Structure 1
Amino acid sequence: MEYKTVYQGNTAEIVEKKSRFIADVFPVSSEDEALECLERIKKQYWDARHHCYAYVIREERLLERCSDDGEPSGTAGKPILEVMKGAKLENALIVVTRYFGGTLLGTGGLVRAYTSASREGLSHSTIITKILGFKLKVQTDYTGLGKIQYILGQRGLHILETNYTDSVELTVLVSTEEEKAVTAEIVEGTNGKSRISRGKECWFAEVEKELKVWDVV
């Protein structure tokens, strides 16, 4: 299992016919957290006319919400949500605040503006793919180490830790989908001379070429 999400949100702004559209992007893990972020934005831009938003939360089922906040129906919240769905984002919130510039944009103009602002906000944010997996413990003798390192390298798997004693123990990040295949390949490659056990379940992702790991609580 894997999904795309916001690692670090940011703010971006576009201007359409003197109306300012300010997009704020947030990583969120619950609906309550999304609503708290929304309230902070409303206080920050207290004098703005509209605070339109959309969020997608991964819980027992996928939760999607959006709001036009006074704009004509379907011209703000839904376009923001469609940008998020197009980017396949989950556990994320986008709020687009509008300062009216005096010129009506029409429904088509509003859809384009809220869409563009949302995309601009995402382009300034850090987006990652989080993968669900395990910290796999692999214990072997020194003759099997090279073969295991080769297998892991071929699959592009990350070694978190290596302990050298009278044997070698590696802690390897492996996705739930790859676990069985990797285990079988290591057992076969070392002629059964390796012991493999499943460690903590975790999410992991590469963030700007650096590995980040989050244990599942």
Structure 2
Amino acid sequence: MTETAGTVARYTTIAGQYRHELEIRRSRFITVLQRVENEADVVDLMNGLRREFSDARHHCSAFILGPGRDLQRSNDDGEPSGTAGQPMLEALNRRVTPYGLTDLSDIAAVVVRYFGGVLLGAGGLVRAYSESVSRALDTARLVHRERRRLFVIPAPPATAGRLENELRGAGMNIAAVEYKGMSTRLTVAVQDEDAALDAFHGHLAGISAGELTAIPAGQEWVDRA
């Protein structure tokens, strides 16, 4: 995983909500995966599913939040301890993404279980909840998120157009162009990796003969399909 100054610069999440149903020995396991930004989103998802499946016996959950995947929680919701929420969380954690990493985050999984009358035992429950989440993940479209560093370049209006064209031609992402009196401000979003940052500063110096300065202006996260 790419890191800059000790912080994660890239991770993977999912696009929207996905559902998958699995039947095991007459018990129905309905898995709902959803992209979430914070714990409030998880609570809203849980509340909505409890209303939608109000007659189900269990609504077990697991979620991972943050670029560094620092916040992880699970809940068995009445199933024997360690047989539902934790296996679900482990299924999220071990999913290998197209980058070849286990970096899935900003995702919540809820498995709604309708008991079918046949006891599965602890081992059976662990396998059922783990498989339910894994099967649901197979149906989800993954989205790569990258952190980009923002830079503002003040430039004279007479040269701003050429500067913008030069930067775009070099593959730079122009996030905004703002005209203020006798000055134009171009905001450029650069992938937060050393090679990309060096290329940006080097290209700017080259096309402006060292006369223009890129002023740091924070960062943003963007989705890349």
Q: Separation in 1 of the partners of 2:126 and 2:190?
A: 42
Q: Separation in 2 of the partners of 1:159 and 1:120?
A: 39
The offset of 1:20, in angstroms, is: 0.8
The answer to whether the 8 A contact 1:48-1:97 is kept is yes
Residue matched to 1:197:
215
Q: Secondary structure at the match of 2:64?
A: strand
The answer to whether the 8 A contact 1:8-1:127 is kept is no
Match of 1:122 among 137, 162, 186: 137
Match of 1:10 among 18, 21, 26: 18
Alignment of 1:49 with 2:57, yes or no, is yes
Q: What amino acid does structure 2 have at the position aligned with 1:102?
A: G
The answer to whether the 8 A contact 1:19-1:99 is kept is yes
Q: Separation in 2 of the partners of 1:68 and 1:58?
A: 22
The gaps in structure 1 that reach 5 residues or longer are 208-217
Relative to its length, the structure with more strand (as a share) is 1
Residue matched to 1:213:
none
The answer to whether the 8 A contact 1:54-1:78 is kept is yes
Structure 1 59/201 Cα, relative in aligned 2: closer, same or farther at 3 Å? Answer: closer
Structure 1 39/9 Cα, relative in aligned 2: closer, same or farther at 3 Å? Answer: same
**How many correspondences in the alignment?**
202
Q: 1:98-117, aligned counterparts within 5 Å?
A: 98-117=113-132
Residue matched to 1:182:
199
Q: Separation in 1 of the partners of 2:104 and 2:69?
A: 14
Q: 1:36-185, aligned counterparts within 5 Å?
A: 36-58=44-66, 62-87=70-95, 88-137=103-152, 148=167, 152-153=170-171, 157-160=172-175, 171-178=187-194, 180-185=197-202
Residue matched to 2:98:
none
The gaps in structure 2 that reach 5 residues or longer are 1-8, 96-102, 179-183
The answer to whether the 8 A contact 1:26-1:93 is kept is yes
The offset of 1:203, in angstroms, is: 0.9
Structure 1 187/93 Cα, relative in aligned 2: closer, same or farther at 3 Å? Answer: same
Instruction: Name the stretch that deviates more: 123-132 or 111-120.
Output: 123-132
Q: Separation in 1 of the partners of 2:69 and 2:24?
A: 37
Q: Separation in 2 of the partners of 1:12 and 1:61?
A: 24
Q: Secondary structure at the match of 2:189?
A: strand
Q: Separation in 2 of the partners of 1:205 and 1:59?
A: 13
The offset of 1:120, in angstroms, is: 2.2
The offset of 1:101, in angstroms, is: 1.4
The offset of 1:198, in angstroms, is: 3.5
Structure 1 102/170 Cα, relative in aligned 2: closer, same or farther at 3 Å? Answer: same
Q: Separation in 2 of the partners of 1:145 and 1:67?
A: 51
The offset of 1:174, in angstroms, is: 1.1
Q: Separation in 1 of the partners of 2:14 and 2:40?
A: 17
